[in-house]
């Protein structure tokens, strides 16, 4: 078996699943592995093995098992391996040589049992080991008596007295204090011994030990004759340099250890690091990445400014006299973005004056009242923050436009230079092009018109692939143009481009000239070998002229403009959509929609997106027609026809009409496709804008304000939830969260409605913790009952909130605690997330849910930021599923950026608190990559930032730069630093929204407010630093004095002297000097009754509306009424007169436990209450959705709708199919599409029971396997009393049999759902498609050529199946085995495995047996 195959079976089995039990395929049981080998290896000398042992073990761990097939590779690598060991020995020898003989003697004195080995032993041992191979040495194990023996004799081997790093004059002389004898003779003898020893020490210092008995003179003579080897030092230096170079090359990097996908996920690729450390805003780098090398000229910059302004102006709806200021404002903003690289938040916060147009007019009241202002300033807002993001988006589009235009200009220049082509239309239209469609038209024209020349140019450049295939349109056209038939094309009397100019009314109208012979006669005279008949000549001429007309950029422009002005969009259902789209389907509102103008769709953009989605699914066909198509064709023919009146002219005009009839469908097809794409993009932008506004509203919520506190104060919250349980029978979980976000306490209550002991315990908790409020939420209508129970409990027990100062009475007071229903959309995502499990591993899911509720009330923005990209899973618009997910994330990110920079981020809090750190990527200039770098660098600098200036580095205090100057300029004012009154160097303006560039203005305003002259200011600043004046303003509590300043004069002086417009900036400074970083978000708005209803029931006004027929389960039956429960959990009341009485009794008509079809008469969303009717004549009336379209207005195809209904009824009569109702709460009268749409918003494993198309003895169970994957299970009913009753036996696949639906759901569907969850939760499961997994496996094998790997992914084509993909080595193909989920097990190769461990082991064993079988077959 090859190494790669053995690696897959053994390496993975032993390393990836070391704790797995082996699997017995014969018995289906698991057995424990033999652990004796591991126990035997637990030797005390394990840590003292040879380096070769370690290397060999590491090879085995990594799966590099050398087989006979790889001997050649081993031989090739052995030389490199020997060199590596040699370098290692040399390095270790240098370190060991630090111990000379005296050091060894010292060791011997301190360790009495230790004996120094003799050199002869060492050499002998080395000699013995010299012939051992590595494999033998790797398997040796030393005993205890060898523990301290030489491990690497190659490293230790050094002759006694050899070269050492110790000099003759030992630097450690005197380090060990010696006892000098008092006896003179003894002292003299010791000195003589030292003299005897000194020559040896000199030898150690660098000389050569004389072992031959030669004296120094003789040795010098030998050196003079033979040399001392110094002349070869250069070779040694080269070798050492090469060794250093190789060591540097072998330095491990992250990409050597981790897979590319892992590095990309963690933003640690080389490209990410380049973004991280480049001094440019991260979002700018990402947006402009495709155009990194594109240089915008000054002329192009001016063009871009006008291009953007012209696109935005029609939607602004400003006064016409503001158009020039608007264009200037756009140009200025573009300059900030492109030239100064300032992000949107910076421009909006610190360049507001350039977004406003101020009109200064004289005040007529000033004459009569001198104290009145002389001038009145009226400010018009030209650009909003949304407009700034739009400008930034259009900047990217313009760069794309310029890049395309540059490519076309280069193509045309090449044609001019190489083929001497002159086409005045091309450069003219390139300059006029304002969108990508027009540039694409030009590219199509050039490729068509000059195809031979482009091929020649490509051939000259060596690009043979550029040549088009034979038979392409341009090739056919070239054949016509080179033949005599092209004379017929010219005979039409006008060029296609000139005809297009006639249609566009460009220039003087050109009238075609008629030939002097009939078209057929001329065609007969132009026949040749390519076109031997006149009819062929005519046909080819028509096609050629029509093709030229189709490729004409001007004609396409003319068509496109008319379609935008006069186009009408209509839908027609396909045969597939006829039955799929029923009355309850979300696409029903577009099923028969016709004659919608572009303006109509602009008002309801979701309609067109639904049309396009339905067309992609094959349910409808979307067409765009011209309202006046007949008139348009007539007008176009009039521009083409000659003005002559004769039989000849009529013949030629008839021929021209045939040409138009050929060209028109082609033009229509290409233009309609472009119009659809443009409309789709425009409609997406409108929905994205609505999503951005909705998300911004949710972010624009300050922490819930405790009574008596200022806005922005964080509350202490007690959060409760019953989850999905019944609050009277199941536990109610609670969590107490302090204002700093710490979870102090948690627990649960039972039956707060009736259990007095629990009610007392709740009251005691309130008294002990004294929360500012109580937050409640849950997943069902039972939570509504819990809210009412808590409100009554607070009222009954008199539970009061904390005391607060009433500003009206100036007395302290308390109010009853508020019970608030909390928006739980973030908590639902958090409770079972990996982040929640890591933060609160010991707590239950509902308790973690309560924690998230409390934190949401404390700071909604932080909770949304912590979700990361998961925010796109929240619902902002009913049609957001029709949007591209990357575009949705991009626009949601802009909302978060706006709000984070409005509120600012305390940089020191972000360093210490992960929740606050989640906000850093949204700060202007930063992003996820730069944010991690910022925190890392601050921690390197000591873990705290003292001033904003410190962020760009402080060499004097050894502070590294955290960000570069450009990024710092963007982010400085949005990173706050608490003002420390006890620290004289603390800058008070660092805790404000004032940018450091405006600190001097703030200090000047503070000085003027304090009425300090220049001498006072100088004295104060000299003594206490630049921030002394503002510090004095705060210390003296004189902030209100800044309101007395007249900022108009400041602004005028700044504009006059420094050409800086700072009026709005001065207002910001004044506000910040009074209340630094004041909370500007709105207070949290309480949820409306409709929002609470949707949250607890999951039913919107579209999914549950009056007039619908819905299933209801009867719970209580009285003579006067009955109580039923709807699927959503709310109760409904059925009055006696709403029941068809049987024997005059309610109890005989309906009974408890029965599921009936009922008509929803009325619904009270505030009280969770409904009125129902079960009368047959009422229920039989179908529900019809309210339509905004007048059936007689011509926008709804009523005739086709009625015809389809008649056809469906006739078909049902022919098949004898009637609607069936099963008494079960999960039963729905859905088809497969409706079932999938219904389950799409449910959890994995949820079930719908529905009728089957196979007849009344079948049911279909549809359950949600995973996102977008649904399995439809056919259930055969046996032992049926009647045709419409449920069978007593339910059989699936002839193998599984159940007694009722509940047993089937629990034992079959839920059992499979648990197996699906087990597999998808395993580390071997990979999200994504099969193609994604194959790419991942290939990347993994490229990074680890000799390792094997296997992973699982879901098979969406066959619900209930998974793909097991494996790759034995880099050169091996990817193998795929199917794994089927069955109740309680996994099935692979017709064998069942009870769990993932058994499945993985079974796969390895089966793979091993397959390889063995294949090898035996080969033999």
pLDDT tens digits for range 930-952: 999 999 999 999 999 999 999 99
- Provide the token pair at 76: 């090739």
- Report the length, in residues, of the chain: 1419
Mean local confidence (pLDDT), 419-426: 89
Angle subtended by helix axes 425-432 and 385-419, to nearest 10: 170
Helix (H) or strand (E) holding 321: none
Maximum Cα interatomic distance, the chain, rounded to a whole number of Å: 149
Number of Cβ within 10 Å of residue 362's Cβ equals 11
Residue 249 binned pLDDT confidence (cut-offs 50, 70, 90)? low
pLDDT score of 1134 more than 70: yes
pLDDT score recorded for residue 929: 94
- Name which of 405-409, 636-640, 1016-1020 the model is least confident about: 1016-1020
* Nearest by Cα to 442 from 460, 457, 429, 459: 429
- Provide the token pair at 311: 């696109």
DSSP state of 875: -
Mean local confidence (pLDDT), 492-501: 92
Q: How far, in Å, are 77, 1157, 1269 from residue 108 at the CA level?
A: 42, 98, 75
Q: How far, in Å, are 341, 347, 901, 932, 961 from residue 279 at the CA level?
A: 10, 18, 20, 15, 11
DSSP state of 1307: I
pLDDT score recorded for residue 698: 94
Residue in the block written with tokens 């406003």: 356
pLDDT score recorded for residue 114: 43
- Name which of 125-139, 340-354, 432-446, 1004-1018 the model is least confident about: 125-139
What does the pLDDT look like over 153-200, one tens digit per residue? 333 343 333 334 333 334 333 333 344 454 555 556 555 555 444 444
C-alpha 31/C-alpha 34 separation (Å) is 9
* SS3 state at 1347: coil
Tell me the chain's radius of gyration from C-alpha atoms: 42
C-alpha 1171/C-alpha 1153 separation (Å) is 18
Residue 1385 binned pLDDT confidence (cut-offs 50, 70, 90)? very high
Mean local confidence (pLDDT), 273-280: 93
What does the pLDDT look like over 1083-1112, one tens digit per residue? 998 999 999 999 999 888 888 889 888 888
pLDDT score recorded for residue 1406: 87
C-alpha 1407/C-alpha 1204 separation (Å) is 56
What does the pLDDT look like over 1193-1228, one tens digit per residue? 688 888 998 888 888 777 665 555 455 667 677 888
Mean local confidence (pLDDT), 1127-1144: 88
Q: Give the DSSP letter string of 392-431.
A: HHHHHHHHHHHHHHHHHHHHHHHHHHHH----THHHHHHH
β 905-906/975-976 pair status:
parallel
Residue 804 binned pLDDT confidence (cut-offs 50, 70, 90)? confident
Which residues are CB-contacts of 574 (< 8 A; sequence separation ≥ 6)?
618, 619, 620, 621
Q: How far, in Å, are 328, 743, 808, 1337, 1387 from residue 27 at the CA level?
A: 82, 50, 83, 33, 15
Runs of H (alpha helix) within 832-990: 834-839, 845-858, 860-866, 885-903, 907-912, 914-917, 928-940, 965-971
CA atoms within 13 A on the CB side of 263: 17
What does the pLDDT look like over 812-861, one tens digit per residue? 888 899 999 999 999 999 998 999 999 999 999 999 999 999 999 999 99
Burial class (CB in 10 A: 0-12, 13-18, 19+), 626: middle
- Name which of 921-930, 945-954, 1151-1160 the model is least confident about: 1151-1160
Helix (H) or strand (E) holding 34: none
CA angle 914, 920, 923 (to 5 degrees): 165
CA atoms within 13 A on the CB side of 408: 25
pLDDT score recorded for residue 11: 38
Number of Cβ within 10 Å of residue 1090's Cβ equals 12
Number of Cβ within 10 Å of residue 593's Cβ equals 25
What does the pLDDT look like over 209-233, one tens digit per residue? 444 555 666 667 666 666 666 666 6
Mean local confidence (pLDDT), 667-695: 95
pLDDT score of 7 more than 60: no
Question: Which residues pair with residue 1291 across a beta bridge?
Answer: 1276, 1297
Q: Are 907 and 977 in contact (CB under 8 A)?
A: yes
* SS3 state at 719: strand
pLDDT score recorded for residue 41: 38
Residue in the block written with tokens 């009397």: 493
pLDDT score of 1402 more than 60: yes
- Provide the token pair at 622: 């979307």
C-alpha 621/C-alpha 611 separation (Å) is 8
The whole-chain average pLDDT of the chain stands at 81
pLDDT score of 782 more than 80: yes
Residue in the block written with tokens 């200025």: 332
pLDDT score recorded for residue 108: 46
- Choose between 193 and 477: higher pLDDT: 477
- Provide the token pair at 899: 């709000």
Count of H-run helices and E-run strands, the chain: 59, 31
β 1121-1126/1131-1135 pair status:
antiparallel
What does the pLDDT look like over 1233-1253, one tens digit per residue? 888 888 887 888 889 998 887
C-alpha 930/C-alpha 281 separation (Å) is 9
Counting residues of the chain whose pLDDT is more than 90, the rounded percentage is 46
Which residues are CB-contacts of 1369 (< 8 A; sequence separation ≥ 6)?
3, 4, 7, 1341, 1345, 1346, 1347, 1348
- Name which of 5-9, 245-249, 1041-1045 the model is least confident about: 5-9
C-alpha 570/C-alpha 574 separation (Å) is 13
- Name which of 55-64, 1182-1191, 1247-1256, 1286-1295 the model is least confident about: 55-64
C-alpha 1268/C-alpha 1143 separation (Å) is 49
Mean local confidence (pLDDT), 883-912: 95
Residue in the block written with tokens 């940018």: 995
Q: How far, in Å, are 252, 407, 640, 723, 1258 from residue 418 at the CA level?
A: 51, 16, 35, 76, 74
Q: How far, in Å, are 32, 37, 46 from residue 19 at the CA level?
A: 9, 14, 22
pLDDT score recorded for residue 766: 93
- Choose between 594 and 3: higher pLDDT: 594
Q: What is the pTM of this model?
A: 0.73
pLDDT score recorded for residue 1165: 92
What does the pLDDT look like over 718-765, one tens digit per residue? 999 999 888 888 999 999 999 888 999 999 999 898 899 999 999 999
pLDDT score recorded for residue 1164: 93
* Nearest by Cα to 492 from 649, 632, 645, 630: 649
Q: Give the DSSP letter string of 263-287.
A: HHHTT-SHHHHHHHHSSS-HHHHHH
Residue in the block written with tokens 């003002």: 979
C-alpha 1296/C-alpha 1276 separation (Å) is 10
Number of Cβ within 10 Å of residue 706's Cβ equals 20
- Choose between 144 and 113: higher pLDDT: 113
Number of Cβ within 10 Å of residue 145's Cβ equals 7
pLDDT score recorded for residue 200: 41
Q: Are 935 and 928 in contact (CB under 8 A)?
A: no
Mean local confidence (pLDDT), 1386-1390: 90
β 1131-1135/811-813 pair status:
unpaired
- Provide the token pair at 369: 């009242």
pLDDT score recorded for residue 215: 64
C-alpha 1378/C-alpha 1388 separation (Å) is 6
pLDDT score of 126 more than 70: no
Q: Are 1277 and 1258 in contact (CB under 8 A)?
A: yes
C-alpha 423/C-alpha 442 separation (Å) is 12
Mean local confidence (pLDDT), 2-30: 40
pLDDT score recorded for residue 1219: 58
pLDDT score recorded for residue 889: 95
User: What backbone torsions phi and psi does residue 223 show, to the nearest 5 degrees?
Assistant: -65, -40
Helix (H) or strand (E) holding 648: helix 647-699
pLDDT score recorded for residue 105: 47
C-alpha 160/C-alpha 969 separation (Å) is 66
User: What backbone torsions phi and psi does residue 1122 show, to the nearest 5 degrees?
Assistant: -135, 150
Number of Cβ within 10 Å of residue 482's Cβ equals 11
């Amino acid at each position: 078996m090859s190494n790669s195959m053995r690696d897959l079976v053994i390496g993975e089995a032993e390393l990836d699943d070391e704790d797995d039990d082996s699997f017995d395929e014969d018995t289906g049981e698991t057995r424990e592995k033999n652990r004796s080998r591991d126990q035997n290896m637990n030797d005390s000398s394990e840590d003292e093995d040879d380096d070769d042992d370690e290397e060999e073990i590491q090879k085995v761990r990594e799966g590099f098992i050398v087989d006979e097939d790889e001997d050649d590779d081993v031989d090739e690598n052995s030389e490199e391996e020997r060199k590596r060991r040699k370098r290692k020995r040399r390095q270790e020898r240098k370190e060991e040589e630090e111990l000379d003989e005296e050091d060894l003697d010292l060791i011997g004195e301190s360790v009495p049992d230790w004996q120094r080995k003799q050199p002869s032993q060492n050499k002998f041992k080395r000699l013995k080991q010299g012939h051992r191979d590595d494999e033998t040495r790797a398997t040796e194990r030393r005993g205890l008596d060898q523990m301290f023996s030489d491990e690497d004799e190659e490293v230790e081997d050094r002759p006694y007295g050899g070269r050492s790093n110790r000099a003759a004059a030992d630097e450690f002389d005197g380090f060990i204090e010696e006892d000098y004898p008092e006896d003179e003779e003894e002292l003299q003898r010791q000195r003589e011994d030292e003299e005897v020893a000194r020559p040896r020490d000199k030898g150690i210092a660098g000389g050569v030990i004389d072992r031959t008995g030669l004296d120094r003179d003789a040795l010098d003579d030998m050196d003079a004759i033979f040399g001392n080897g110094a002349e070869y030092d250069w070779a040694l230096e080269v070798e050492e340099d090469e060794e250093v170079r190789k060591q540097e090359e072998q330095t491990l990097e992250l990409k050597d250890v981790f897979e590319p996908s892992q590095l990309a996920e963690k933003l640690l690729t080389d490209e990410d690091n380049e973004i991280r450390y480049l001094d440019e805003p991260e979002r700018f780098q990402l947006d402009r990445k495709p155009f990194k090398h594109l240089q915008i000229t000054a002329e192009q910059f001016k063009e871009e400014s006008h291009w953007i302004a012209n696109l935005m102006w029609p939607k602004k709806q400003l006064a016409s006299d503001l158009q020039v200021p608007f264009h200037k404002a756009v140009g200025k903003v573009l300059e900030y973005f492109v030239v100064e690289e300032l992000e949107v938040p910076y421009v909006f916060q610190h360049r507001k004056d350039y977004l406003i147009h101020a009109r200064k007019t004289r005040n007529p009241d000033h004459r009569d009242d001198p104290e009145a202002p002389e001038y009145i300033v009226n400010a018009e807002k030209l650009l909003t923050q949304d407009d700034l993001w739009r400008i930034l988006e259009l900047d990217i589009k313009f760069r794309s436009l310029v890049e395309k235009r540059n490519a076309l200009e280069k193509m045309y220049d090449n044609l001019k230079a190489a083929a001497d082509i002159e086409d005045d239309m091309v450069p003219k239209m390139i300059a006029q092009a304002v969108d990508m469609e027009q540039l694409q038209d030009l590219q199509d024209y050039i490729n068509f018109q000059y195809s031979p020349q482009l091929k020649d140019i490509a051939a000259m450049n060596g690009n043979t692939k550029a040549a088009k295939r034979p038979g392409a349109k341009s090739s056919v056209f070239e054949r016509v143009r080179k033949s005599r038939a092209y004379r017929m094309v010219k005979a039409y009397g006008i060029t296609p481009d000139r005809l297009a100019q006639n249609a566009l009314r460009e220039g003087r109208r050109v009238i075609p000239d008629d030939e002097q012979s009939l078209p057929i006669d001329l065609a007969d005279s132009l026949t040749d070998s390519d076109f031997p008949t006149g009819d062929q000549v005519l046909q080819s001429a028509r096609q050629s002229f029509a093709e030229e007309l189709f490729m004409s950029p001007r004609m396409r422009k003319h068509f496109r403009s008319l379609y935008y002005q006069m186009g009408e969009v209509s839908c027609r259902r396909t045969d597939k959509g006829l039955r799929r789209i029923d009355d309850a389907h979300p696409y029903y509102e577009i099923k028969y929609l016709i004659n919608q103008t572009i303006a109509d769709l602009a008002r309801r953009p979701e309609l067109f997106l639904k049309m396009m989605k339905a067309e992609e699914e094959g349910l409808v066909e979307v067409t765009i027609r011209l309202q006046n198509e007949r008139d348009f064709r007539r007008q176009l023919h009039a521009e083409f026809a000659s003005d002559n009146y004769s039989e000849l002219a009529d013949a030629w005009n008839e021929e021209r009409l045939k040409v138009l009839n050929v060209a028109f469908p082609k033009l229509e097809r290409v233009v309609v496709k472009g119009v659809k794409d443009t409309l789709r993009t425009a409609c997406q932008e409108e929905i994205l804008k609505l999503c951005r506004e909705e998300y911004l509203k949710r972010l624009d919520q300050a922490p819930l304000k405790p009574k008596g506190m200022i806005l922005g104060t964080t509350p202490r919250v007690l959060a409760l939830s019953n989850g999905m349980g019944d609050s009277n029978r199941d536990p109610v979980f609670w969590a107490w969260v302090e204002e700093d976000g710490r979870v102090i306490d948690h627990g649960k209550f039972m039956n707060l409605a009736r259990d007095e002991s629990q009610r007392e315990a709740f009251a005691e908790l309130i008294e002990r913790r004294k929360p500012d409020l109580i937050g409640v939420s849950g997943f069902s209508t039972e939570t509504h009952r819990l809210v009412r129970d808590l409100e009554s409990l607070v009222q009954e027990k008199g539970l009061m909130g904390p005391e607060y100062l009433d500003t009206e009475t100036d007395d302290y007071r308390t109010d009853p605690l508020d019970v608030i229903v909390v928006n739980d959309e973030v908590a639902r995502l958090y409770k079972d997330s990996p982040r929640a499990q890591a933060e609160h591993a010991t707590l239950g899911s509902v308790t973690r849910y309560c924690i998230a509720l409390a934190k949401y009330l404390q700071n909604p923005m932080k909770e949304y930021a912590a979700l990361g990209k998961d925010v796109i899973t929240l619902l902002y618009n009913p049609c957001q599923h029709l949007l591209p997910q990357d575009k949705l994330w991009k626009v949601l990110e802009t909302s978060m950026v706006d709000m984070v920079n409005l509120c600012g981020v305390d940089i020191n809090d972000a360093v210490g608190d992960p929740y606050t750190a989640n906000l850093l990527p949204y700060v202007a200039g930063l992003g996820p990559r730069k944010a991690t770098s910022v925190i890392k660098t601050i921690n390197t600098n000591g873990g705290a930032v003292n001033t904003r200036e410190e962020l760009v580095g402080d060499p004097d205090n050894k502070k590294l730069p955290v960000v570069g100057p450009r990024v710092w300029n963007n982010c400085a004012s949005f990173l706050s630093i608490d003002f420390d009154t006890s620290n004289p160097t603390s800058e008070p303006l660092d805790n404000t929204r004032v940018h450091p560039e405006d600190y001097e203005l703030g200090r000047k305003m503070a000085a003027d407010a304090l009425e300090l002259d220049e001498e006072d200011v100088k004295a104060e600043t000299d003594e206490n630093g630049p921030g002394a004046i503002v510090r004095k303003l705060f210390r003296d509590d004189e902030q209100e004095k800044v309101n007395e300043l007249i900022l108009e004069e400041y602004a005028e002086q700044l504009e006059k002297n420094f050409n800086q417009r700072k009026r709005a900036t001065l207002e910001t400074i004044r506000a910040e000097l009074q209340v630094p970083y004041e909370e500007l978000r709105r207070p949290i708005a309480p949820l409306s009754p409709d929002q609470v209803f949707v949250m607890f029931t999951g039913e919107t006004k579209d999914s549950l509306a009056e007039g619908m027929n819905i299933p209801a389960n009867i719970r209580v039956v009285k003579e006067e009424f009955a109580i039923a429960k709807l699927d959503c959990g709310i109760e409904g009341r059925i009055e006696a007169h709403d029941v068809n009485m049987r024997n005059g009794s309610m109890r005989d008509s309906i009974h408890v436990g029965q599921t009936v079809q009922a008509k929803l008469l009325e619904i009270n969303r505030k009280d969770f209450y409904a009125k129902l009717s079960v009368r047959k004549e009422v229920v039989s009336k179908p529900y019809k959705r309210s339509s905004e379209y007048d059936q007689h207005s011509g926008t709804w195809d009523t005739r086709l709708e009625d015809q389809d209904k008649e056809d469906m009824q006739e078909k049902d009569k022919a098949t004898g199919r009637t609607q069936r109702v099963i008494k079960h709460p999960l039963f729905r009268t859905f088809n497969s599409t409706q079932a999938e749409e219904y389950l799409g918003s449910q959890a994995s494993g949820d079930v719908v029971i529905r009728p089957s198309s196979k007849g009344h003895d079948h049911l279909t169970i549809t359950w949600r396997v995973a996102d977008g994957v649904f399995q439809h299970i056919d259930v055969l009913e046996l032992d049926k009393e009647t045709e419409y009753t449920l069978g007593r036996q339910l059989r699936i696949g002839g193998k599984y049999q159940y007694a009722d639906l509940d047993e089937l759901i629990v034992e079959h569907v839920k059992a499979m759902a648990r197996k699906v969850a087990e597999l998808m939760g395993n580390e071997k499961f990979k999200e994504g498609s099969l193609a994604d997994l194959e790419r991942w496996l290939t990347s993994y094998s490229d990074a680890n050529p000799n390792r094997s790997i296997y992973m699982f992914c879901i098979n969406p084509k066959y619900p209930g199946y998974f793909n097991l993909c494996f790759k034995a080595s880099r050169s091996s193909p990817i193998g795929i085995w199917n794994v089927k989920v069955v109740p309680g097990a996994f099935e692979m190769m017709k064998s069942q495995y009870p769990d993932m461990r058994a499945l993985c082991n079974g796969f390895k064993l089966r793979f091993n047996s397959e390889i063995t079988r294949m090898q035996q077959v080969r033999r």
